[in-house]
Each structure stands twice: as C-alpha cells, then as structure tokens.
Amino acid sequence: MSDPSTKERLLDSAERLFAERGYAATSLRELTQDAGCNLAAVNYHFGTKEALVLAVLERRVRPVNEERLARLDALEAAGTPQLEDVLRAFVAPLLERHRDGAAVERVARLFLQLSTMRDPELQHYRLFQSTATRFVAAFLRALPEVDPVTVYWRITFMIPVVAMSFSDAERLAFLSGGTASADDTERALAHMVSFLAGGLRAPEPTAGGAA
C-alpha cells in the first residue's frame, strides 16, 4: 500500500497522458518514462496498449456505475422515485467521486476519445450496458405523462450532457462567461439536474413541427 505498484503507476500515467495528449499521440515510451518504469512493463502487466487504455477507463467507470446502481436500488426500494432523484443518482456519482474538476475532465476526455474510435479492440459499451438498461427503465417510470418514444429521444440527448459537459475546462469557462467551474461539483450537479429535468419533462413537440 505504501508505494503505488508499477501497475498502478502505469494506470495513473496512462490516464493523465492519454487524456491530456490523446491516446494515439502518447507513445508507450513517453508513458513508461512518466511512470518511472521500463517499456516492457506495459506488455508484462497489460499485454497491449489497447488493453491498457481499456483498463484505465474501467478503473474509473466501474465504481461510478456501481454507485449509480446502488443509489437507484435504494431509491426504488423506498417507492417510485421522482425524476430529479433518478437524475441525481445518475449524475452525482460521476461528479462526487473525484476531488476536483480535473479528474472528471480526464475521465470524460478518455471516454470521448474511445467513443470516436471504431476499433473493435477498444469497445467499451459493455461497461455501461447494465447501467443504461436500468436507468432507461427508471426514466420511463418517472415520466409516465411523456410518450415513451419521446423519452428515448431525450435520453439520447441527455447522455452527451453527462459525458461531455466537463470534458474541456476551457470550453466550460468560455461558454459560461467565466462563471462556471467544474471544481464546484455541488453547483454543477444542481444545475445539470435542473437542466436535464426540464428537458426530459418539456412539452412534447407538436406533430406539425411548427415554426
């Protein structure tokens, strides 16, 4: 426990460098030098660069999704949860598990990078499958007055908000006029939940799609 093991140092360096410079732009030579170990250590501990980046993402994503499901379990054990409760169960674990906004930003950037790659070796959807299934059902139950097809569309719009809003602190500062910071996780959470609740509960678009 005292010193981080080589494997953990590799995960730490990989998370930081992949997020900051990009997965493809970071060579295993830079990475192992940053981690203070030998080039061959990557192959020994993870096998390939692809397996390493998946391990990096999984280390952050799995506990977040486990906490999401635990919170949803607790809510549903107490009755039918309100929409805002389900939203908080979904969003809070991501924001609260990390001390500062930089950690959330790293995870978001890593996730976005993998999302834009079609390499079958880099598939990461399975990390979210069970969570997605459970929460889609919960949102449908919390929105009985909205057409389910509309709810599906809106969940599709909700995912980018959660996945991407904190992926770039500069964009966040610029678009928010310098008033928003991912470091203030409590405010970020409250604002995100109110925004998403408003979007999910909005009046449905009229059939004609009027001007």
Partner DNA sequence: GTCTATAAACGGATAGAC
Partner DNA sequence: GTCTATCCGTTTATAGAC
Q: Which residues bind a second copy (CB under 8 A)?
A: 20-25, 85, 88, 109, 112-113, 115-119, 125, 132, 136, 148-150, 152-157, 159-161, 163-165, 167-168, 171-172, 174-177, 179-180, 186-206, 209, 211
Residue type, 174: F
Minimum Å gap between C-beta 43 and DNA is 3
CA dihedral sign of residues 168, 172, 178, 179 = negative
User: Which of 21, 39, 62, 159 is in the footprint of DNA by CB under 7 A?
Assistant: 39
User: Which of 28, 69, 132, 162 is in the footprint of DNA by CB under 7 A?
Assistant: 28
The partner in contact with residue 79, picked from a second copy, DNA, none with C-beta cut-offs of 5 to 8 angstroms by kind, is none
Return d(Cα 160, Cα 37) in angstroms, integer.
Answer: 36
Return d(Cα 197, Cα 157) in angstroms, integer.
Answer: 12
Regarding 4 and contact with DNA (CB under 7 A), the answer is no
Determine the interface stretch with DNA among 35-43, 82-90, 131-139, 189-197 (rule: CB under 7 A). Answer: 35-43
Identify which of residues 10 and 200 has a Cβ nearer to a second copy in the complex. Answer: 200
Query: Vertex 175, ends 169 and 176: CA angle to 5°?
Result: 85
Which string of DSSP letters, residue by residue, matches 172-194?
HHHHTTT---TT-HHHHHHHHHH
Residue type, 124: H
Determine the interface stretch with DNA among 36-44, 122-130, 163-171, 177-185 (rule: CB under 7 A). Answer: 36-44
Phi first, then psi: give them for residue 176, nearest 5 degrees. Answer: -90, 10
Residue 78's SS3 state is coil
Return d(Cα 148, Cα 155) in angstroms, integer.
Answer: 10
User: Which of 4, 20, 40, 186 is in the footprint of DNA by CB under 7 A?
Assistant: 40
Regarding 44 and contact with DNA (CB under 7 A), the answer is yes
Minimum Å gap between C-beta 24 and a second copy is 3
Regarding 150 and contact with DNA (CB under 7 A), the answer is no
Identify which of residues 88 and 98 has a Cβ nearer to a second copy in the complex. Answer: 88
Instruction: Compute, in degrees rounded to 10, the torsion defined by CA atoms 86, 90, 71, 100.
Output: -140
List binders of DNA among 45-64 (CB under 7 A). Answer: 45, 47-50
CA dihedral sign of residues 49, 54, 57, 58 = negative
Binding site for DNA (CB under 7 A): 5-7, 26-30, 37-45, 47-50
